[in-house]
């Protein structure tokens, strides 16, 4: 018995996506074909995979292919595959509702401040909807490979808010997507135009994409293949051109930019596998959004059969920007995600992937400085996560990092730890760094003064992850990394002695300041860090930098309150003034301002900005 036609509403968010897609993609309309072919190819992959356990699924029609045809009179384009197909429930779940969190992420990315490029649509898992950019009606006719002929499903929608569902007889398995073109989209009703789009965007789909042979300018019933239709990674490197590699990358990553670099390797032996791994030239959208769920981008094949997206199983998080393919010869075809998570063979493949990617980045660093700079700009901060995540490769990763420095070129982050060590003075034991919110704040830190005076280089770190990363790194090539704001400075005997004398002499001043500031400070000390500034904050070894504490508090995290240690430069005229000031109120204003300017320079939050302003005005006016 056939169920009657049913009309349903799209979920609210799907309707929003449809609206956004049609309005933001109109200048790149042709993307629809790439997306529909990509879905057809996925459907063929799924059928091939399920056929391993159940050969009957593809019996009688085992040549998987994708057909693209057009009809000038009916003004339709049809993309048809003989892949896995969908049941009625699957149609509803996959194209009527929010099948993945992709829908929401797409909405966020397209309306957020930093708008994503709509051409990345395929990366969001909402590529199907691009059909509505050129069509005012889309019909999907599909039958799941294991369903009877009578359980075909016809889905139809004008993309305006509703869709209809109908049960139909469908002798062939698989899916046809029929686009009823909008009035002004005639350019797509031409064989050569469709063919050139397939060549441009889908040449590296591993299944034949067939088109009708034309006779007297009209399509006939005979089909011929238009693409290479072979798994690129299985060919010998010598037979693959750079264009081939780039073309494959673009369809794999739903990207329209070239990849920055790639590495293609075959390992033969007790365990054989092929890896083809790409570094994109720009962050994929999931990286921009900071998304960590549902990582895609690395496809696992076993003997050329697509098994699953296995980015999480095959690459550590800090390399999540990598796109590519791993094809293993020796894994059982019936592997599941659970098995993959504790599979020793897979561990070996994973280690090989990490090694290949790090090799590739090292090669860029050595031979292609411009590309390496592009890489660091896009993924440098992601790579830094590896310092904590991948203890085995910590030194290798650290070697790749680049920082700004007091001996570098302004804000340019191009000084390596090796450069630093190469320039260290005789007897210098530590690698010194300062962390701040931004370059200007880092370069202007009062704590740098003594280092500048002594000619000691300091790395200027101002990426949010740096403080945390450096904490994990701890040391490099046997040299400790030390924050200029923390702990004792490296003074020679004479300097120590002099420092002690100054401190002794300043004792009454220190006591006066401590009394004036009371609970606001933990301690007041004479600083060895300052030459020009009157004051700065010093941190204890395990204390977080004030700018970071402020960011975390702003993000809603609760942190223990700690009382700052105020360091002063007793020779500075402002401290002379505090010393000489007999009026308690005025002395208190000066003392508080010394603390507050140290806090501001460290990027900390002022506890009471209004009080600070009033204090400053009193001092400026001399009242």
Residues that bind ligand ADP (CB under 6 A): 35, 39-40, 42-43, 81, 83-84, 86, 94-95, 99, 125-128, 175
When CB distances are held under 5 to 8 angstroms depending on the partner's kind, the choice from Mg ion, ligand ADP, none that residue 83 binds is: ligand ADP
Compute the least distance from the CB of residue 471 to Mg ion, in Å.
41
Compute the least distance from the CB of residue 144 to ligand ADP, in Å.
9
- Identify which of residues 127 and 408 has a Cβ nearer to ligand ADP in the complex: 127
- 538: enclosing H helix or E strand: strand 535-538
Compute the least distance from the CB of residue 127 to ligand ADP, in Å.
3
When CB distances are held under 5 to 8 angstroms depending on the partner's kind, the choice from ligand ADP, Mg ion, none that residue 247 binds is: none
Pairing of strands 135-143, 152-157: antiparallel
- Identify which of residues 86 and 598 has a Cβ nearer to ligand ADP in the complex: 86
Taking the alpha carbons of 319, 325, 330, 332 in that order, is the dihedral positive or negative? positive
Q: How many residues can be counted in the chain?
A: 623
- Identify which of residues 177 and 354 has a Cβ nearer to ligand ADP in the complex: 177
| Among candidate residues 217, 170, 197, the one with its CA nearest the CA of residue 31 | 197
Burial code of 413-430, b = ≥16 C-beta within 10 A, e = fewer? bebbbebbeeeeeeebeb
- Identify which of residues 299 and 529 has a Cβ nearer to ligand ADP in the complex: 299
Exposed / middle / buried, residue 334 (Cβ in 10 Å: 0-12, 13-18, 19+) = exposed
Which of these ranges, 120-128, 357-365, 387-395, 456-464, lies near Mg ion under the rule CB under 5 A?
Answer: 120-128
C-alpha span between 588 and 584 (Å, rounded): 6
Compute the least distance from the CB of residue 216 to Mg ion, in Å.
36
When CB distances are held under 5 to 8 angstroms depending on the partner's kind, the choice from Mg ion, ligand ADP, none that residue 598 binds is: none
- Under the binding rule (CB under 5 A), the answer on residue 39 touching Mg ion is yes
Compute the least distance from the CB of residue 169 to ligand ADP, in Å.
18
Which of these ranges, 123-131, 204-212, 241-249, 332-340, lies near Mg ion under the rule CB under 5 A?
Answer: 123-131
- Identify which of residues 43 and 361 has a Cβ nearer to ligand ADP in the complex: 43
Other CB atoms within a 10 A radius of the CB of residue 214 amount to 15
When CB distances are held under 5 to 8 angstroms depending on the partner's kind, the choice from Mg ion, ligand ADP, none that residue 40 binds is: ligand ADP
529 CB-near residues (< 8 Å, 6+ apart): 446, 447, 448, 449, 450, 451, 484, 485, 489, 536, 538, 567
User: Which residue has tokens 């691009």?
Assistant: 130
Taking the alpha carbons of 170, 175, 180, 186 in that order, is the dihedral positive or negative? negative
Compute the least distance from the CB of residue 122 to ligand ADP, in Å.
6
When CB distances are held under 5 to 8 angstroms depending on the partner's kind, the choice from Mg ion, ligand ADP, none that residue 126 binds is: ligand ADP
Are 316 and 347 contacting, i.e. CB atoms less than 8 angstroms apart? no
- Identify which of residues 35 and 449 has a Cβ nearer to Mg ion in the complex: 35
- Identify which of residues 161 and 332 has a Cβ nearer to ligand ADP in the complex: 161
Are 252 and 325 contacting, i.e. CB atoms less than 8 angstroms apart? yes
Which of these ranges, 35-43, 361-369, 403-411, 462-470, lies near Mg ion under the rule CB under 5 A?
Answer: 35-43
Compute the least distance from the CB of residue 87 to ligand ADP, in Å.
10
Pairing of strands 66-71, 76-81: antiparallel
| Among candidate residues 146, 175, 168, the one with its CA nearest the CA of residue 57 | 146
225 CB-near residues (< 8 Å, 6+ apart): 65, 208, 209, 210
When CB distances are held under 5 to 8 angstroms depending on the partner's kind, the choice from ligand ADP, Mg ion, none that residue 175 binds is: ligand ADP
- Under the binding rule (CB under 5 A), the answer on residue 69 touching Mg ion is no
Q: How many residues of this chain bind Mg ion (CB under 5 A)? A: 3
| Among candidate residues 317, 340, 282, 308, the one with its CA nearest the CA of residue 390 | 317
C-alpha span between 57 and 46 (Å, rounded): 11
- Identify which of residues 127 and 297 has a Cβ nearer to Mg ion in the complex: 127
Taking the alpha carbons of 112, 118, 123, 127 in that order, is the dihedral positive or negative? positive
Pairing of strands 273-280, 259-267: antiparallel
Which of these ranges, 127-135, 231-239, 284-292, 552-560, lies near Mg ion under the rule CB under 5 A?
Answer: 127-135
- 179: enclosing H helix or E strand: strand 174-181
When CB distances are held under 5 to 8 angstroms depending on the partner's kind, the choice from Mg ion, ligand ADP, none that residue 158 binds is: none
80-119 mask for Mg ion (x: CB under 5 A)?
A: ----------------------------------------
When CB distances are held under 5 to 8 angstroms depending on the partner's kind, the choice from ligand ADP, Mg ion, none that residue 179 binds is: none
| Nearest residue to Mg ion, by Cβ distance, number only | 127
- Identify which of residues 102 and 564 has a Cβ nearer to Mg ion in the complex: 102
In the chain, what is the straight-line distance between the N-terminal and C-terminal CA atoms, in Å? 94
Which of these ranges, 39-47, 176-184, 371-379, 478-486, lies near Mg ion under the rule CB under 5 A?
Answer: 39-47
- Identify which of residues 43 and 277 has a Cβ nearer to ligand ADP in the complex: 43
Are 549 and 604 contacting, i.e. CB atoms less than 8 angstroms apart? yes
When CB distances are held under 5 to 8 angstroms depending on the partner's kind, the choice from Mg ion, ligand ADP, none that residue 95 binds is: ligand ADP
Which of these ranges, 31-39, 78-86, 142-150, 304-312, lies near Mg ion under the rule CB under 5 A?
Answer: 31-39
Compute the least distance from the CB of residue 479 to ligand ADP, in Å.
47
Residues between 544 and 583 that touch Mg ion (CB under 5 A): none
When CB distances are held under 5 to 8 angstroms depending on the partner's kind, the choice from Mg ion, ligand ADP, none that residue 30 binds is: none
Which of these ranges, 77-85, 122-130, 360-368, 598-606, lies near Mg ion under the rule CB under 5 A?
Answer: 122-130
Compute the least distance from the CB of residue 93 to ligand ADP, in Å.
8
- Identify which of residues 21 and 539 has a Cβ nearer to ligand ADP in the complex: 21
- Identify which of residues 81 and 567 has a Cβ nearer to ligand ADP in the complex: 81
538-441-609 Cα angle (round to 5): 75
CA 589 to chain centre: 47
542 CB-near residues (< 8 Å, 6+ apart): none
Are 287 and 320 contacting, i.e. CB atoms less than 8 angstroms apart? yes
Are 448 and 434 contacting, i.e. CB atoms less than 8 angstroms apart? yes
Are 449 and 367 contacting, i.e. CB atoms less than 8 angstroms apart? no
State residue 166 phi and psi, 5-degree precision: -145, 140
Compute the least distance from the CB of residue 281 to Mg ion, in Å.
22
- Identify which of residues 198 and 591 has a Cβ nearer to ligand ADP in the complex: 198
State residue 433 phi and psi, 5-degree precision: -145, 160
Question: Which token pair is 37?
Answer: 């072919």
Please pick, from the candidates 83, 85, 96, 127, the single residue that binds Mg ion as defined by CB under 5 A: 127
| Interacting residue ranges for Mg ion, rule: CB under 5 A | 38-39, 127
């Amino acid at each position: 018995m056939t169920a009657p036609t049913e009309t349903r509403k799209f979920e609210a968010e799907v309707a929003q996506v449809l609206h956004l897609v049609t309005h933001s993609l109109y200048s790149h309309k042709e993307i629809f074909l790439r997306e529909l072919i990509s879905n057809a190819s996925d459907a063929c992959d799924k059928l091939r995979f399920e056929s391993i356990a159940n050969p009957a699924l593809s019996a009688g029609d085992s040549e998987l292919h994708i057909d693209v045809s057009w009809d000038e009179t009916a003004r339709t384009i049809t993309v048809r595959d003989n892949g896995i197909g969908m049941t009625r429930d699957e149609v509803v779940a996959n194209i009527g509702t929010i099948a993945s969190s992709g829908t929401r992420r797409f909405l966020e990315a397209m309306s957020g401040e930093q708008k994503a490029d709509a051409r990345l649509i395929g990366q969001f898992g909402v590529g199907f909807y691009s059909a509505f950019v050129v069509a005012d009606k889309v019909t999907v006719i599909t039958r799941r490979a294991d369903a009877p002929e009578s359980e075909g499903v016809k889905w139809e929608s004008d993309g305006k808010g509703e869709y209809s569902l109908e049960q139909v007889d469908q002798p062939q398995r698989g899916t046809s997507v029929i686009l009823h073109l909008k009035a002004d989209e005639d350019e797509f009703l031409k064989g050569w135009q469709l063919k050139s789009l397939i060549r441009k965007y889908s040449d590296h789909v591993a299944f034949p994409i067939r088109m009708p042979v034309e006779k007297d300018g009209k399509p006939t019933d005979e089909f011929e293949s238009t693409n290479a239709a072979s798994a690129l990674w299985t060919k010998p490197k010598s037979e693959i051109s750079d264009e081939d590699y780039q073309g494959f990358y673009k369809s794999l990553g739903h990207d329209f930019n070239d990849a920055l670099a790639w590495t293609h390797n075959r390992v033969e032996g007790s365990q054989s596998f092929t890896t083809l791994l790409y570094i994109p030239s720009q962050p994929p959208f999931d990286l921009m959004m900071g998304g960590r769920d549902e990582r895609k981008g690395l496809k696992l094949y076993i003997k050329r059969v697509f098994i699953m997206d296995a980015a999480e199983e095959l690459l550590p998080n800090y390399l999540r920007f990598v796109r590519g393919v791993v094809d293993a010869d020796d894994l059982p075809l019936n592997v599941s995600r659970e098995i993959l998570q504790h599979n020793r063979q897979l561990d070996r493949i994973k280690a090989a992937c990490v090694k290949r990617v790090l090799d590739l980045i090292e090669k860029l660093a050595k031979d292609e400085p411009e590309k390496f700079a592009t890489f660091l700009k896009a993924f440098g901060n992601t790579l830094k996560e590896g310092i904590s995540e991948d203890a085995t490769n910590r030194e290798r990763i650290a070697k790749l990092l680049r920082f700004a420095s007091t001996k570098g070129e302004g804000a340019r982050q191009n000084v390596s730890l090796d450069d630093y060590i190469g320039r260290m003075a005789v007897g210098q034991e530590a690698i010194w760094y300062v962390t701040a919110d931004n370059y200007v704040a880092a370069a202007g830190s009062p704590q740098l003064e003594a280092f500048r005076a002594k000619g000691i280089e300091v790395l200027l770190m101002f990426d949010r992850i740096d403080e945390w990363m450096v904490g994990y790194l701890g040391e490099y090539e046997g040299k400790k990394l030390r924050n200029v704001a923390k702990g004792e400075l490296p003074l020679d005997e004479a300097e120590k002695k002099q420092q002690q004398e100054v401190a002794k002499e300043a004792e009454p001043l220190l006591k006066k300041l401590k009394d004036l500031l009371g609970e606001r400070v933990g301690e007041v000390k004479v600083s060895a860090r300052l030459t020009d500034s009157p004051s700065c904050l010093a941190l204890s070894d395990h204390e977080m930098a004030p700018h970071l504490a402020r960011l975390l508090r702003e993000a809603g995290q609760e942190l223990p309150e700690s009382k700052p240690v105020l360091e002063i430069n007793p020779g500075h005229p402002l401290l002379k003034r505090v010393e000489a000031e007999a009026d308690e109120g005025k002395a208190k204003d000066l003392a508080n301002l010394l603390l507050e300017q140290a806090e501001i320079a460290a990027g900390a939050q002022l506890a009471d900005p209004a009080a600070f302003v009033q204090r400053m005005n009193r001092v400026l006016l001399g009242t």
